[in-house]
Amino acid sequence: MGARLSYTGIENDTREGLVTMSQSVTAYTYYDTGLSRNSSTGNTISNEHAVFVLGIYMNTYNSGLGTHYSSHGYSAPFQWNTNGTNSSSSCPLAYGTLIGHAPNSWVEGYDRDEGMRLRIKHEYGNANNGWRIQYNFTSSGTLSSGAGQTLQFWLRRLA
């Protein structure tokens, strides 16, 4: 992890755990991003409360899952800690407007008519006993590393 000086001050370069989704996607079905509190990118030190944002890259114009051309964005900040969870519920993870070459007619956010939803799923009663980040789309399609079918996520630690 390095640091750099930007126009907003000192910024940690912590784009960790880049994952590229590669699968067929069924509308309204949640899929795991592979990023969790217990993954190497989201792990926290004992008794620590870490704050993260989820980075998003979409280039999905040829996937059936939206019309983004090279767009980037971030989720709202969220906190993970080393405590276990006694719940199997989930909570929405809001994200802002995706900015890039051409976001086209996409609507972002949560609880609106957006094309993709994010959530943090609690994992009660398994070996991880933590949280996982999941996503779904309002349409079906195919994700891969191919042209116009790319969806990527990564974690960025803020504190």
**Model pLDDT, residue 3:** 46
- pLDDT digits over 77-95, tens only? 988 766 666 777 888 998 8
Residue 151 has pLDDT above 50, yes or no: yes
pLDDT band at 126 (very low <50, low <70, confident <90, very high): low
Examine the pLDDT at 10 and tell me if it is beyond 90: no
Closest CA to 130 of 90, 74, 75: 90
In DSSP terms, 6 is beta-bridged to: 9
**Token pair of 140, please?**
């079906």
* pLDDT mean across residues, the chain: 77
d(CA 137, CA 81): 28
Mean predicted confidence (pLDDT) in 13-38: 84
Tokens of 150: 């790319």
Measured CA to CA in angstroms, residue 37 lies from 25, 77, 130, 155 at distances of 24, 14, 6, 10
